[in-house]
Structure 1
Amino acid sequence: MFGGTPLVRSYLAGEKLADAQLSAVSSLIRKYRKRLFSISWFMRCLNEPIARWANAEDNVTGRFWEGRFKSQALLDEASVIAAMAYVDLNPIRAAMAHTPEESDYTSIQQRILEQDSKIAAGDKAALNEIPEDLRTAIGRLMPFTDEVPDDPERAIPYEIRDYLELVDWSGRAILEGKRGSIPGNLPPILERLKIDPGNYIRFINRTQKHRFHSVIGAVESMRNLAGDFGRSFLKGQNAAAALFSPG
């Protein structure tokens, strides 16, 4: 993505450099390493080529993205699951799809496909029937515990069927078209995660999102993080108390 300075290219090519030049290279390397930990630089490297590609495709110039990215830390399992569902339901909220399996370019569509026994087994005929972008992505999402029972430390600590049920239920609630509408048969995972159903629907419908600030999670998680940073308070605790109910 970046060609580097002539000095850096000389260093990478193994050319002999003077001490002053090596010192300059070391300074640049420290700068590059710092950028590897920067969300802002990551988003810049991600957004800029996409914008250039899209503008070239439409033969237009000018601003492509609505604004800069928004970063919120997810502090616990409940916030991760809620945020995953929130993102997976983007096409349904935008009326671009009616069901999760029709939601192109989403993780939920990929997870549903991976439940097909032929695709899971790597059957070439079955894989060739799906788009190339999906075909190359199969198996690259973080699995749920029941998908990798021998390696629970590297998995989302719930079963995939629970998450699929949650997203399906959430999508139906959105399509009802009523703010905070709660269909019957609540997914059990909501109870296990101690998520309030009414406020969850408002969260995934974007009517509660603005109430969170830099972090999303249960009140206890937010208080623990505040303590770690030597702060007495983090904004968004009222939203956290409403969504991640203790009861």
Structure 2
Amino acid sequence: MLILLPPSEGKATAGDGPKLDLSALSLAEVTEARETVLDALERVCSGPVDAAREVLGLSERQVDTVQRDLEVRIAPTLRAADLYTGVLYDHLRLPDLLASGAAARTQASVLIFSGLWGAVGVTDPLPPYRLSMGIKLPPLGALGTFWKSQLSGVLAARAEGRLIVDCRSAAYATAFVPTGEATESAVSVRVLRETTSGGVTKRSVVSHMAKATRGAIAHTLLAEGVDAHTPRELADALNDLGHVAELAAPARGKRPATLDIVVRA
């Protein structure tokens, strides 16, 4: 399997590893593209702070983030597994997986998408930074579109013969979209909250809960060594492990199926 994750807005603010070495990151094929985005980010952050905040979508209270982005090349690094925090990563517990018998499987199976790096592995050494995939970064434009042009071929090759389990949010999903035959070996994970009142059952999407559930699902798959090759096998495995998983056909056209994880309140 290949599990695709978003990053987190919340990140660790300091590391103790060596400074950034782009050649040390996974997916070496996009090293030049990473340099291009980093150069563009540095140009924005070197200008007026208020203008940089506007481009990066930062509030006045996040002004220190501009300086942090200027120090990306020289700041100490830490593993991606330790850099990304927040609800999804609290439930995914990457450091625990990497300290267990699931370490090799976790390293081989997880890619974390990023507005700055495109996509990285869990042990890649990264400095603290902030750059959302939803940003339009001059002169590159929308980063989702930029990274799609850089990552499509690379990730299609990486995903060949593997089930793609897509746990990304919408902004990060734009950077790589399975196409052709790959859509039959891909599934998008959606989380639904089910409530019953007055004999009426309703289901709704709750974003905060969705992050936690996606993290927990990814942890289960990696910790238990689930080796599913099709969306149906994945749904069956999760149901066997105590989750409520329902496979839905694509809404339209030749798109990946949706795997609904139902959380009952």
Return the structure number with greater strand share: 2
Q: Which has the larger radius of gyration?
A: 1
Same fold (TM over 0.5): no
After TM superposition, the score normalised by the length of structure 2 is 0.23
Give the TM-score normalised by structure 1.
0.24
Relative contact order: is structure 1 or structure 2 higher (C-alpha 8 Å, sep ≥ 6)? 2
